[in-house]
Chains A and B, each alone.
Chain A
Amino acid sequence: GAVVSQHPSRVICKSGTSVKIECRSLDFQATTMFWYRQFPKQSLMLMATSNEGSKATYEQGVEKDKFLINHASLTLSTLTVTSAHPEDSSFYICSIQIKETQYFGPGTRLLVL
């Protein structure tokens, strides 16, 4: 069965609004979760590492004030895209790591009009 869930699976919003994406670890306590972004026909790119109870670690070029990450519990991390713009339209995927394997959520497709 699924190890990681994401909600919503798809969201359409107007430019300037904020969108929150949830990532849940269903059966495991995850002190660390990862957020990826994938633009069409491109590979996954790591955006940030979400750490339970502390600040997220962002990759170079990713604006921390635009992509707010909250990892409030061992089973939930949220990614909020603030003041979304059309160029933020993408496929956002979270993952957790259990031993040597990363388990990915089903992804959230964001379309900003």
Chain B
Amino acid sequence: KQEVTQIPAALSVPEGENLVLNCSFTDSAIYNLQWFRQDPGKGLTSLLLIQSSQREQTSGRLNASLDKSSGRSTLYIAASQPGDSATYLCAVWAINAGNMLTFGGGTRLMVKP
């Protein structure tokens, strides 16, 4: 059974810092991995999708990497801003899980002005 873990569970940084969020998964047989953002009380917003054949994806200040063999992904946020404060979730679509995404527990990020 696929398990997804995110470290750290919470992170507080001053504005302007570059930061890295970590995601690990136990079964490397995946179709893809997604990073989501969730604001309090809101639904999820998809940030980046990395296919299993890809190593990284970039969108603006965000860069996500994928090392499928080691079961790891990182989300790099450059020059963090207070507006980046949210919970960040990674989710994997495992080959043996049908259409189901397996989510990590999330990292709650607070960027202080």
A interface, CB within 8 angstroms of B: 6, 32, 34, 42-46, 49, 91, 93, 95, 97, 100-107, 109
Contacts of B99 in A (CB 8 A): 32, 34, 49, 97
Asked if B100 CB lies within 8 Å of chain A CBs, one says: yes
Docked Cα-Cα span, A34 to B103, in Å, equals: 14
- A46–B100 touching, CB < 8 Å: yes
A106 touching B43 in the complex, CB below 8 Å, given contacts A32-B99, A42-B105, A46-B100: yes
Asked if B32 CB lies within 8 Å of chain A CBs, one says: yes
- B44–A100 touching, CB < 8 Å: no
- B100–A107 touching, CB < 8 Å: no
In the complex, the number of residue pairs spanning A and B with C-beta atoms less than 8 Å apart equals: 49
Closest 6 CB pairs of A and B: A107-B43, A104-B44, A106-B43, A104-B43, A43-B103, A43-B105
Q: Which residue of A lies closest to B4 (CB)?
A: A43
- B89–A44 touching, CB < 8 Å: yes
Q: Which residue of B lies closest to A107 (CB)?
A: B43
Contacts of A91 in B (CB 8 A): 41
Contacts of A93 in B (CB 8 A): 43-44
Docked Cα-Cα span, A97 to B49, in Å, equals: 13
Partner of B89, one of A34, A43, A49: A43
- B44–A101 touching, CB < 8 Å: no
A44 touching B44 in the complex, CB below 8 Å, given contacts A97-B99, A100-B31: yes
Interface hits, B80-113 → A, CB 8 Å: 89, 91, 93, 98-101, 103-106
Q: Which residue of A lies closest to B6 (CB)?
A: A43
Q: A43-B104, A100-B93, A105-B43 are in contact. List 11 more A-B contacts (CB 8 A).
A: A46-B101, A91-B41, A93-B43, A93-B44, A95-B44, A102-B91, A104-B45, A104-B46, A106-B42, A106-B43, A107-B43
Contacts of A6 in B (CB 8 A): 43
Docked Cα-Cα span, A50 to B80, in Å, equals: 38
Asked if B57 CB lies within 8 Å of chain A CBs, one says: no
Q: Which residue of B lies closest to A105 (CB)?
A: B43
